[in-house]
Amino acid sequence: MSERIRKAQRRHLVELFAVMAVYLAAVFGVAQYTDYIESGVLRTVVVLAPPLTLAAACFIFVRNYRRLDERQQRIQANAAAITLVVAIVGASTLGFLKSFGVFAHEDDFLWFTPFLIVVWSLARRFLGDEC
């Protein structure tokens, strides 16, 4: 792997970890402080902070994906397909468990996105991605 590619991957990881740190801060901040916000408009803006950081993470991912060679793009695409299957099965399972009263956790989908990011990362490793 060339030095240029290593630097680009390092930059990508720094950007992605920074956005994910902001995401975690936004989630915890929203959970702690939304009860103290009376205004409906301000409350809506504050609550939308975590999804906006996820949108930034998606932008970073797509920008990095377009810079990859064909082999790496194929690994990423296959990892995304595996993650999609896990997401479908996971969402269906949580839905059934909630529908029949077996699982009553309210914030399950709040943490589903970070879970899928971990699944996608593990799938990439399994498929042979070096980064």
Distance set, CA 70 to CA 67, 74, 76 (Å):
10, 6, 10
61 and 4 within one domain? yes
pLDDT at 83 over 90: yes
Residues 57 and 76 in one domain: no
Average of per-residue pLDDT values in the chain? 85
Q: Are residues 50 and 12 in the same domain?
A: yes
Which domain-ending residue is among 67, 88, 113?
Answer: 67
Q: Do residues 75 and 105 both lie within one domain?
A: yes
Number of structural domains, the chain? Answer: 2
d(CA 46, CA 90): 28
Residue finishing a domain among 49, 67, 85: 67
* Residues 63 and 76 placed together within one structural domain of the fold: no
13: domain range? 1-67
Shared-domain flag, residues 131 and 74: yes
Q: pLDDT band at residue 5, thresholds of 50, 70 and 90?
A: confident
* 95, 50: one domain: no
Indicate whether 108 and 125 sit together in one domain.
yes
Residues 59, 62: Cα–Cα separation, whole Å: 5
Whether residue 11 is found in the same domain as residue 61 = yes
pTM: 0.69
Q: Per-residue pLDDT averaged across 85-101, rounded? A: 87
Looking at the fold, whether 3 and 57 belong to one and the same domain comes out as yes
pLDDT at 1: 60
